């Protein structure tokens, strides 16, 4: 049950004629959950409650009302400096009959497991303050002996969300603003595939990059939508720090076919160096040949006397063909029991990181799920070239090869429109460039990879001009979820960009997916 410390002063807020509006959000130090009656405030909303979610709440004055759903809420608040900031409330209860909006201060400073979130609160001489981990501070307002948040808009978009003017004059809705196309320089958080703040900061520090448009992953709406997870359970196990001593493997089902018909990936993680490797497969049975190819081509010091393999109990890994390869090239093969993926936790965690990046990149680019293989290749390149705290600031490739990390100034946002110069087979009056979308970096030739949807090919070229994203390309729209119609229109625009309006480029295509 959601309880409050001031039950006697809140019953009037349940009255239909009360002053409670979508912008009135109360702060309570004793509440166990966030809750709201404003459906438009949700970035994503699910009617399915988990076991730890209450089915009813005892709201102000003893009124018992049902919980209709749970999800992530996006609020826009005014800080003490006058700036506008976004606040994402995870696991906010949707209680339409409650006619009240409440932020549980305890859930802001500590998560459901009791661990600190980095946010804090304090009582000042002139009021109560909440300080967020990125430095912004919000002062709570006092109204009728209640603490209220300085909320100026709710919902995933200020253009579509409820604002103060809309709440004051609901009978005269404001006209829809004219569509604007503002060019915005992407942040390194977006360029590096929506990685966490610590990894992005370490990469920028190592490479001497000044990220003038830095944003926190907690402020990134795309991350809030695509990386929402249940709370993890702490596990302890001995880990090796020697490259090639123990490798972990798993088969990932992406649930969608790539442009070349791939559906699965064999993901391999080296425990000592954190080096990631993935081979895309048409079917699970192809994992045997893919693993043999990995052993032949990898830079890891694989040895039949020292290297152990850890997998789950998938039938492919227990088959005679796979076991024959293990006996020939490896020292030992350990399998986790069925339905206990936690015992194969290293590769499971890396698969989750990889999936989060892939999901964020294709969602942020407005592409459909079939582009997962291109996004996966780009994510692997980023992860293997980023410093890791567990490696004392070194990159996985640096641990394995011993070479210094390469500066990657040519990285761009996955899915960014790009024009490739046509060097051959072009008439005098025909265009000199062909449009496609950026899908990654070719480390072997230090060039860009650009995908053309009409020919289903990836071209590697250094003669590429990148077109800016417009603000209209944001994929998070108002309502309960990411609108599929918005994604479809974006995908159509991307495909229109790569339409075959000129003869094919003379450069050889590269099939990497």
* Series of mean pLDDT values for 10-residue runs along the chain (513 residues): 38 44 82 86 86 80 82 88 86 86 84 75 84 85 82 66 43 42 65 85 78 73 82 63 91 91 94 93 94 92 91 90 94 82 80 94 89 92 89 89 72 89 80 89 84 88 85 38 38 39 40 46
* Pair 41, 29: CB distance under 8 Å: no
Long-range contacts, 189-193 (Cβ 8 Å, 24+): 189/214, 189/215, 189/216, 189/217, 189/220, 190/364, 190/413, 191/411, 191/412, 191/413, 192/382, 192/386, 192/411, 193/357, 193/360, 193/361, 193/378, 193/379, 193/382, 193/414
**Which of 345, 285, 280 lies closest to 311 in space, CA to CA?**
345
pLDDT at 253: 94
pLDDT at 493: 41
- Label residue 253 exposed, middle or buried (CB < 10 Å: 0-12, 13-18, 19+): exposed
**What is the spatial distance between Cα 380 and Cα 297, in angstroms, rounded to a whole number?**
16
* Pair 332, 309: CB distance under 8 Å: yes
DSSP 346: H
Six token digits for residue 418:
């790009």
Six token digits for residue 272:
């000592």
Q: How far is CA 38 from CA 50, 58, 78, 83, 95, in A?
A: 21, 18, 19, 24, 8
Sign of CA dihedral 122, 102, 110, 201: negative
| Beta strands 146-148 and 151-154, pairing class | unpaired
Q: What are the residues whose beta carbons fall under 8 Å from the beta carbon of 339, sequence distance 6 or more? A: none
**What is the spatial distance between Cα 101 and Cα 148, in angstroms, rounded to a whole number?**
10
**What is the spatial distance between Cα 292 and Cα 302, in angstroms, rounded to a whole number?**
12
pLDDT at 6: 37
Q: What are the residues whose beta carbons fall under 8 Å from the beta carbon of 381, sequence distance 6 or more? A: 440, 441, 443
Phi, psi (deg, nearest 5) at residue 222: -60, -40
Q: What are the residues whose beta carbons fall under 8 Å from the beta carbon of 311, sequence distance 6 or more? A: 248, 249, 250, 317, 333, 334, 335, 336, 344
**What is the spatial distance between Cα 234 and Cα 343, in angstroms, rounded to a whole number?**
12
DSSP 342: G
């Amino acid at each position: 049950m959601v309880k409050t410390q001031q039950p006697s002063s809140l019953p009037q807020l349940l009255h239909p004629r009360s002053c409670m509006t979508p912008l009135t959000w109360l702060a309570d130090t004793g509440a166990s959950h966030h809750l709201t009656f404003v459906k438009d405030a949700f970035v994503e909303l699910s009617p399915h409650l988990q076991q730890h979610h209450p089915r009813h709440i005892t709201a102000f004055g003893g009124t018992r009302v049902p919980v209709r759903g749970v999800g992530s809420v996006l609020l826009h608040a005014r800080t003490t400096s006058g700036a506008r900031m976004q606040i994402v409330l995870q696991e906010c209860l949707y209680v339409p009959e409650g006619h009240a909006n409440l932020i549980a201060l305890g859930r802001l400073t500590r998560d459901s497991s009791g661990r600190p979130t980095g946010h804090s609160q304090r009582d000042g001489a002139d009021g109560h303050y909440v300080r967020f981990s990125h430095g912004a501070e919000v002062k709570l307002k006092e109204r009728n002996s209640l603490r209220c948040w300085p909320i100026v808009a709710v919902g995933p978009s200020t253009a579509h969300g409820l604002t103060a003017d809309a709440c004051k004059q609901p009978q005269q809705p404001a006209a829809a603003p004219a569509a604007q196309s503002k060019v915005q320089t992407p942040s390194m958080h977006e360029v590096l595939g929506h990685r966490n703040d610590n990894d992005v900061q370490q990469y920028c520090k190592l490479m001497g990059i000044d990220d003038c448009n830095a944003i926190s992953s907690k402020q990134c709406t795309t991350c809030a939508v695509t990386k929402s997870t249940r709370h993890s359970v702490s596990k302890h196990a001995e880990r090796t720090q020697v490259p090639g001593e123990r490798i972990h493997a798993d088969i990932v089902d992406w649930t969608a076919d790539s442009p070349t018909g791939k559906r699965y990936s064999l993901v391999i993680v080296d425990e000592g160096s954190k080096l990631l490797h993935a081979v895309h497969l048409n079917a699970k049975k192809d994992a045997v040949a893919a693993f043999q190819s990995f052993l032949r081509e990898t830079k890891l010091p694989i040895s039949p006397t020292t290297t152990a393999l850890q997998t789950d109990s998938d039938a492919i890994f227990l088959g005679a063909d796979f076991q024959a390869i293990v006996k020939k090239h490896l020292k030992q093969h350990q399998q986790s029991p069925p339905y206990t993926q936690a015992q194969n936790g290293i590769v499971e965690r890396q698969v989750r990181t990889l999936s989060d990046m892939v999901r964020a990149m294709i969602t942020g680019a407005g592409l459909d799920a079939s582009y997962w293989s291109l996004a996966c290749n780009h994510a692997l390149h980023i992860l293997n070239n980023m410093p890791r705290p567990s490696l004392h600031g070194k990159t996985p490739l640096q641990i394995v090869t011993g070479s210094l990390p390469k500066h990657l100034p040519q990285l761009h946002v996955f899915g960014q429109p790009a024009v490739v110069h046509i060097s051959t087979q072009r008439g005098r009056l025909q265009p000199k460039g062909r449009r496609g979308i950026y899908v990654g970096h070719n480390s072997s030739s230090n060039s860009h990879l650009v995908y053309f949807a009409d020919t289903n090919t990836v071209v590697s070229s250094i003669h590429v001009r990148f077109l800016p994203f417009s603000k209209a390309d944001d994929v998070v729209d108002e309502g309960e979820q990411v609108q599929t119609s918005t994604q479809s229109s974006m995908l159509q625009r991307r495909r229109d960009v790569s339409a075959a309006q000129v003869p094919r480029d003379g450069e050889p295509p590269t099939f990497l997916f």
